[in-house]
Structure 1
Amino acid sequence: MSQPPPPPHQPPPGGGFGPPQDQPPQQQPGGGFGAPQPQQQPHAQPPQPPAQPPQAPPPGGAPGYGYPQTPQGAPTPPQPAYGYPQAPQGAPQTPPPAAPPGYGHPGQQPGVYGQPQNPYGQQPPGYGYPQSTMPMHPQSGGPGGGGRKFNTQLAVIVAAVVAIALVIGGVVLYKQSGDEGGKDDTASSSGGTGGGDDNGGGGGNTTPGKEKVPADPNSQVLFQTPAPAVPDDTVITVAGSWLTDKAYVKSGVHEIVGYDPEKGTELWTIPLPGPVCQASKRTNEDNLTAIAYEPAKPTKEKPSHGCTQVAAIDLDAGKKLWTKTAEVEGEPIRFDNITVSGGTVAAGGTSGGAAFDIKSGKQLWVPKPNNSCYDLGYAGGEKLVAVGKCGGYANPQLHIQTIDQKTGRVISEYKMAEGVEYASVISTEPLVVAAEVGQSQDAVGITDVFSIDNKTGKLRIRISVPGDQFAARCSGVTTIEACTGVVVGNDRLYVETEEHQGGGEYGRTNEIVAFDLATGKQTGQRADAGDRYTITPLRMDGGNIIAYKRPPYDKGGQIVSIDGGSFKETKLLENPAARTVRDVETRMQPESAEIIYAQGRLYMAEKFASDLGSSFQKKYHVIAFGRTES
């Protein structure tokens, strides 16, 4: 990821709250957040496990993703896992010559697709069957009846020994498999057991979800909102979409609009003097949220007036509760991110930050003066987390701080290794942070995930999610809460894999796999998208994962619920396959659109409005789907 050039200005000398030494261009640096804590977690590197020799694929070609391999001389394995190519009826049963390992083959180097590559002591789970050095069929002795009688007795003894060895070997394999994160290493989305103990792949006891399973998942289009008109050669941010029991709310061009969640009719409109530039994804229990917006409309002479205004919005009543600004050294702060945690709105950027009471707008706190640190921004939800940046431009260091919502007091702090310039927060409880460590051609904002203890600030585990294997993305430099393709629940990290060849000749597909946030190891759980579909996790529903399946050219998209224990998929919604509908849906990509599923309805919305694109293709601002039974 290319790095921004150093800023033209330098911080003032002394201990005042001056600008930091390293900032992206055209930004005003601000103050650090709180006194840094002396705590720092070392990155101990455990010894690397020995490499495992590759194994030949079974008859019929290379195995599918996650198919267990059978060591030489082992008993006949059970039926192959989902996705393994089947031999056509009447085909010869003799195995073809050995071929190189296929996609996802455990012997493939470098690295097994969807498995951690042992940078932090992770070891892939054991596959296959226990091997025995005992002969399976005793050889007959010399000629004569006496010799045959002796060998028959030997055969009985050897068979008994082999049976005992297999039982013992099975116990050993069971324990090894359990140590790697699950009793059933081959559990899949089609109904694998996944285990259920604290150390197993099932994730223990999971909380039931709120989303109801329908008798008929087929949906219909509830409404479509045309894209708003914008001036020529203009792109305007329309970030922000929320859903309550009373309204579906979406930012428009210089306004926020509440719609009837089923009919799409406008319920209310909040006009704004300028465009919404940042919108919190979070709401509190009273359905209050927050936005940051510009004080005036863009013009050709001045395309941006700065994202300086902060406001709280009552999503049920359709009211703007208050508008506030904050200053650093007499200059208004330009906010790059905004979030909500309980009763607090926190907004930050490279020129400073501030926190406000969500109901009254009263300023609660600002980062404490520090000439070498400043807050990149904040992440909300159950906890409030600040991402602070300290040090010079050449060797920056990020401080991940859990802070008190009302006072800004630092509760715990984790200092990342020097050189990591930006981080995104996937979850604040448990605290899970993504960062791009080093330069990666395939990664977008994430190569590694850090599981951190909220109370102590100590690193629990670091998980490698390289971009050539996983499709999680954390866009933006200071947006802090802008990760897609990855969610956290059940003390697990659920991450989308990269696309790969499916079972068909032209089909592409992918999976969602799970990592244990305590050990960093894969649990063995895997949810398959199915041939020609790709699957993306959206959010948690209790202990279940809500995921969207992007469809092939002749199908509609799907919403599925994935059981956090068994990883069994249940279809909650399937959209129409009509081309006119599908064309609108497939333009709303999960990594670039706002997608909300709740209460049996799916809302897909754009983040930008523009006049760019084909004039022959009608563009839409929002498309909503609901089940035909509702």
Structure 2
Amino acid sequence: PQPGGYGAPQPPQQPGAYGTPPGQQPGGFGAAPHGNPTPGYAYPQPYPHPAPQPQAQPHPTAPPQPHYGYPQGPPQPPTGYAYPGQPQPYGYPYGQHPTAPYPAPKAAGQRTVVYIVVAAVLAIALIAGVGFWYANSGGGGGKQDTAHSSGGTGGKNGSGGATGGKEKAPADPGSKMLFQVPLPQTANTVRTAGSWLTDDVYAKSGVAEITGYDPADGTRKWTLKLPGPVCSASRQLTDDGRTAIVFQPEMNDTRAGCSRLAAVDLTKGTLLWTKTVGEGDFPVTFDNVTVSGRTVAAGSNDGGAAFDIDSGKALWQPKRSDGCYDVGYGGGPKLVAVRKCGGYDNPQLHIQTIDPKSGKVFSEYKMAPGIEYASVVSTVPLVVAADVGHSAGDGSGISDYFSIDGRTGKLLTRISAPGDTYGGKCDSITKVEDCRGVVAGNGRLYLATEEHDGTSDKYSQTNEIVAFDLTTGKQTGQRAPAGDGYTLYPLRMDGTSLLAYNHPPYDKGGQVLSIDGASFKAVKLLENPATQEVHQAEATMPAEYAELRFADGRLFMSAVYAHKVSYGKEYLVLAFGTDG
């Protein structure tokens, strides 16, 4: 058949050699330097690639920060953890580096992220793999919901209902700072992954602890102490406010690994249970964890395991057979496993929709041999991202999106997303479910474009959000512009509307917009103050790396690392809210 529009499925390519040289450390997502000037630690820097030049500290009479589309300040010596020779940060398994490196942005007019590819990259065969269906009479059937994103089962953390939308535009979208939490001072870089929002609590991981705050004013409701830092945290949570984390059993010994799996009651601030998997001195180290229904599922290169979130009862543990193991899981309304089979030089990924309670496979899609990593963007609709043939070239981990029928395992379409055209980033190496700048819902894939020149002056940058049909792979023609100097990032679905954060220019405050799924008309839900103090604080929480949660007219921004702050102010949490 003739090819469709942009992003339609493409014909298979001839097989080619594949592989990254043995011993090469894969790149990924989220490393943090310490001691850098504003905009602060939240800009991960390359590891172990040559250091980018840090950016100049803004001054009332000086040009604004280059990341937001302005002139570059004088070069300064590189500092921070992310350079070779610096110590291993806490919150990662011994012998692994943080899955990171998205480089610091370039100067104005050149803000497209550049990634230095170390591995030898060659073509991958058979782009659109083969879908395979396991026939069954279980929960894989029924009508597929098409209005969820990759976020939590609770709408505040990432996904909305099938119709309508809960977030309403206030009479005055102007916000005020509700509260702020300073970044903890640490001698070494420590991971602080995890933030959740319920009706009554905003909870955030700190240094070897999780704290629950009143969403309205930041009053501490509880603090849950842990023996070591949180390595990975589920974005999903149950309707009654329960979620899951992976943490390190010791604070000052990275060799202990991220081997403790736990369920947390966010209402009470208590651990429901903790588990380890494995025997003796060699417990499994988990890279990722998620929640679907009442099931906690965790995965890694050592395989996966699942437990009941309430009791901690072991539900199932897939066996490593025929060289296959569960790398990780995507949760929410369905549970989807990314299962890796085959050897190092010719891996094959199986995308499996499974029963959370039993682990039974309902359907399976086999990706093309040679694709090494994949991320679950959304489980309903089922969308998977992959860097096919290491062709993304920008460190995003995405060259293509695969829209799959979760009931049958059939590939619906493949959407090409060149890194120089579209944003969106996934940590497909270890986190599996950690995708940003892309949302699926309404039978659509919503993607931010890369930044390009604006119209106001030579330093102005902007972008748009565009939509692709998840059945045909074609663009729908819907396009939401950020506005000159602004940069849009999709956050989550709110019913049939898309919520997006609009990063501001230097003289404005950030915004949260609701974009109608049909008309693509944008309505402002929140706009932060345009003061220098607020802008500089907000600049330390770029949407590419920070954790953003929005609900009920409140925006919560939080950091994923703590470190020693040697200049300026940095924050663990910033909270804004409207009076509406």
Q: Is residue 481 of structure 2 the alignment partner of residue 532 of structure 1?
A: no
What value does the CA root-mean-square deviation take over the aligned residues?
Answer: 2.1
Partner of residue 344 from structure 1, selected from 288, 291, 295: 295
Instruction: Find the counterpart in structure 2 of residue 387 from structure 1.
Output: 338
Matches of 1:531 and 1:250, distance apart in 2:
33
Q: Is residue 358 of structure 2 the alignment partner of residue 404 of structure 1?
A: no
CA contact (8 A) 1:238 1:251 kept: yes
Q: Is residue 502 of structure 2 the alignment partner of residue 549 of structure 1?
A: yes
CA contact (8 A) 1:277 1:307 kept: yes
Matches of 1:255 and 1:617, distance apart in 2:
24
Structure 1 portions without partners, runs of 5+:
8-21, 26-118, 122-204
| 1:591 counterpart SS class | coil
Instruction: Find the counterpart in structure 1 of residue 150 from structure 2.
Output: none
Structure 2 portions without partners, runs of 5+:
1-17, 28-125, 129-160
| 1:352 counterpart SS class | coil
Instruction: Find the counterpart in structure 2 of residue 453 from structure 1.
Output: 405
Gap change, CA 1:389 and 1:510, over 3 Å in 2: same
Matches of 2:365 and 2:387, distance apart in 1:
17
**Residue type matched to 2:507 in 1?**
D
Partner of residue 209 from structure 1, selected from 155, 160, 165: 165
CA contact (8 A) 2:335 2:356 kept: yes
Matches of 1:309 and 1:473, distance apart in 2:
27
Residue 331 of structure 1 and its aligned partner are, at CA, apart by 2.6
**Residue type matched to 2:171 in 1?**
A
Partner of residue 265 from structure 1, selected from 206, 211, 219: 219
Instruction: Find the counterpart in structure 1 of residue 476 from structure 2.
Output: 523
Matches of 1:328 and 1:487, distance apart in 2:
39
| 2:340 counterpart SS class | strand
Q: Percent identity?
A: 59
TM-score relative to the length of structure 2: 0.72
Partner of residue 489 from structure 1, selected from 426, 441, 446: 441
| 1:223 counterpart SS class | strand
CA contact (8 A) 1:206 1:564 kept: no
Instruction: Find the counterpart in structure 1 of residue 418 from structure 2.
Output: 466
Residue 303 of structure 1 and its aligned partner are, at CA, apart by 3.3
Q: Deviations over 1:323-347 (max 9, x none)?
A: 1111169731100000000000000
Q: Deviations over 1:84-107 (max 9, x none)?
A: xxxxxxxxxxxxxxxxxxxxxxxx
Matches of 1:219 and 1:509, distance apart in 2:
23
Matches of 2:320 and 2:399, distance apart in 1:
32
Q: Is residue 564 of structure 2 the alignment partner of residue 574 of structure 1?
A: no
Partner of residue 606 from structure 1, selected from 559, 569, 574: 559
Q: Is residue 185 of structure 2 the alignment partner of residue 235 of structure 1?
A: no
Matches of 2:561 and 2:457, distance apart in 1:
36
| 1:462 counterpart SS class | strand
Gap change, CA 1:568 and 1:519, over 3 Å in 2: same
Instruction: Find the counterpart in structure 1 of residue 112 from structure 2.
Output: none
Partner of residue 620 from structure 1, selected from 564, 571, 578: 571
Matches of 1:571 and 1:522, distance apart in 2:
25
Aligned length: 431
Matches of 1:120 and 1:398, distance apart in 2:
12
Matches of 1:23 and 1:253, distance apart in 2:
26
CA contact (8 A) 2:322 2:341 kept: no
Residue 23 of structure 1 and its aligned partner are, at CA, apart by 11
| 1:512 counterpart SS class | strand
Q: Is residue 181 of structure 2 the alignment partner of residue 225 of structure 1?
A: yes
Matches of 1:213 and 1:328, distance apart in 2:
54
Matches of 1:381 and 1:23, distance apart in 2:
31
TM-score relative to the length of structure 1: 0.66
CA contact (8 A) 2:303 2:320 kept: no
Structure 1 runs of 4+ off > 6 angstroms? 22-25
CA contact (8 A) 2:183 2:572 kept: yes
CA contact (8 A) 1:5 1:24 kept: no
Task: Tell me which structure has the larger Cα radius of gyration.
Answer: 1
Instruction: Find the counterpart in structure 2 of residue 251 from structure 1.
Output: 205
Instruction: Find the counterpart in structure 1 of residue 86 from structure 2.
Output: none
CA contact (8 A) 2:374 2:428 kept: no
**Residue type matched to 2:177 in 1?**
V
Residue 6 of structure 1 and its aligned partner are, at CA, apart by 4.1
Instruction: Find the counterpart in structure 2 of residue 333 from structure 1.
Output: 284
Instruction: Find the counterpart in structure 1 of residue 317 from structure 2.
Output: 366
Residue 599 of structure 1 and its aligned partner are, at CA, apart by 0.8
**Residue type matched to 1:512 in 2?**
I
CA contact (8 A) 2:175 2:527 kept: yes
Matches of 1:576 and 1:330, distance apart in 2:
53
Instruction: Find the counterpart in structure 1 of residue 367 from structure 2.
Output: 416
Matches of 2:403 and 2:269, distance apart in 1:
38
| 2:254 counterpart SS class | coil
CA contact (8 A) 1:353 1:375 kept: yes
Residue 474 of structure 1 and its aligned partner are, at CA, apart by 0.7
Instruction: Find the counterpart in structure 2 of residue 293 from structure 1.
Output: 247
Matches of 2:334 and 2:506, distance apart in 1:
41
Partner of residue 307 from structure 1, selected from 258, 268, 272: 258
Q: Deviations over 1:297-330 (max 9, x none)?
A: 12xxx33420111111111111111111111697
Matches of 1:335 and 1:120, distance apart in 2:
29
Matches of 2:19 and 2:449, distance apart in 1:
26
**Residue type matched to 1:573 in 2?**
L
Residue 243 of structure 1 and its aligned partner are, at CA, apart by 0.6
Partner of residue 565 from structure 1, selected from 518, 526, 537: 518
Most deviating of 395-404 and 474-483: 474-483
Q: Deviations over 1:239-287 (max 9, x none)?
A: 0000111111000101110011111111101100010001000001111
CA contact (8 A) 2:235 2:290 kept: yes
Gap change, CA 1:405 and 1:603, over 3 Å in 2: same
Partner of residue 508 from structure 1, selected from 437, 461, 466: 461
